[in-house]
Structure 1
């Protein structure tokens, strides 16, 4: 029996009518792999929120400065959910945005601190305020979008794994990514639009459509790598190997 307080997913005793084979397998997050993933997610969220305050025009495409990095947060979320379960994924989401809020609080303090009065310092302080001042609205957009989108993403991953177990990983990644990114992008672009200079409905549609398309295609393109990373961690996570072996032995 697993201890309810320590494991990301509690597994009740196996009965005659329910073998371990019928339930998905998840690892404890006591090893260093989960810590690395969690740290990377927090860093990605903070940097994406800073970059997201800059509007970017790439030919006909309207986007923001965090567009190239943010898909990594969803890839890390997929890895967390597949290996450690829904509870661990929620913990990663909460920690990522707690750190983002902490960063915004620090930016406010930095901007509010009295600066030097020489010409260079006055110009430099104005640039800092201009660059970091609007980040709180990007954080709000990211908080609403990522929490809703990543929660949707994780729920789809866990529901599909409960049905297919170790099979169908690519299907889980494809389906969860599409729906999760759609939810995230619509919410994020709606709240963040004024900060990045998007003022018309046409610009918003361009911003949302190409943002969704880009992030989704990047994640799809990374699926071969994501699969290999997941396979590597599953192979080297002791608790995952033990529970998978136990599940297979009771089949």
Structure 2
């Protein structure tokens, strides 16, 4: 069993002091599933975000609802990041973040190779080539925007979760999820929208502001709405992860014996 994510033992509940952080072993059965899900969400969001989406103007406000094609999926990346940080610690969260974007960069490079390959010379082949260039050509800009935004936002998100857990231990899970979600999404969205707006066709400061404000509000609302389900899944994973149960029990026994 590895000890990479092992943290100082938490005090026993009766001591009245905040409990320290306990993390599971990455080799357990849940980490690979969470990692695969995060990679998939990030790659698909990068493709979808290359498309600008407008739901029209809100009557009487002059505010246009502008977003991108990845808006409905990307908040899940932060939910998964919260789960990974809470269960496996900040080092595992950093590994998941870097893995997601390494795969995303590979996907972006693959799109450019696909575009560069010579198409069939008939009318249908040339039409498909033009469609690929239009759809996948700007994805590298979105990947760059996502890389900058997600690295900053998710790193802040993971930092907040891990530091709060060090102070409160197993208590305060809901508070950790609420606090980290807002900060991470705010930083991520501002950076992402500033770079990706070029790729999706946003040309004015007003459109950028509408795109950014809506992005922050939507992502935070979705994450907050999912917190009951997120916390329930985290607690279930803690109960069913052998290494987490073992480390938590050992920490409590060590403190009781001290």
- Is 1:56 aligned to 2:53, yes or no? yes
2:230: which partner in 1? 226
Aligned counterparts of 1:33 and 1:202: Cα–Cα separation in 2: 43
1:7: which partner in 2? 3
Listed one character per residue, the Cα deviations across residues 17-67 of structure 1 (whole Å, up to 9, x for unaligned) are xx9x84210000102210000001001000000000000001221100000
Aligned counterparts of 2:187 and 2:212: Cα–Cα separation in 1: 11
Q: Equivalent residue of 1:36, what SS?
A: helix
2:252: which partner in 1? 248
Whether the aligned pair in 2 keeps the contact of 1:41 and 1:76 (CA below 8 Å) is: yes
1:157: which partner in 2? 161
**Deviation >6 Å, runs of 4+:** none
Aligned counterparts of 2:22 and 2:231: Cα–Cα separation in 1: 16
1:198: which partner in 2? 202
1:146: which partner in 2? 150
- Is 1:45 aligned to 2:42, yes or no? yes
Q: Equivalent residue of 1:222, what SS?
A: helix
Greater shift, 56-65 or 206-215, is seen at: 56-65
Consecutive unaligned residues in structure 2, runs of 5 or more: 57-63
Alignment of 1:13-24 (within 5 A): 22-24=19-21
Whether the aligned pair in 1 keeps the contact of 2:9 and 2:251 (CA below 8 Å) is: no
Alignment of 1:19-168 (within 5 A): 22-59=19-56, 60-168=64-172
Give the C-alpha shift of residue 247 in structure 1: 2.1
Q: Equivalent residue of 1:137, what SS?
A: helix
2:59: which partner in 1? none
Whether the aligned pair in 1 keeps the contact of 2:19 and 2:168 (CA below 8 Å) is: no
Assess, with a 3 A threshold, how the Cα gap between structure 1 residues 222 and 11 changes in structure 2: closer, same or farther. Answer: closer
Which TM-score applies when normalising by structure 2?
0.91
Which TM-score applies when normalising by structure 1?
0.93
Whether the aligned pair in 1 keeps the contact of 2:182 and 2:220 (CA below 8 Å) is: yes
When the two chains are superposed, the root-mean-square deviation of aligned CA atoms in Å is: 1.9
Give the C-alpha shift of residue 70 in structure 1: 0.1
Q: Equivalent residue of 2:30, what SS?
A: helix
Give the C-alpha shift of residue 248 in structure 1: 2.1
Assess, with a 3 A threshold, how the Cα gap between structure 1 residues 177 and 30 changes in structure 2: closer, same or farther. Answer: same
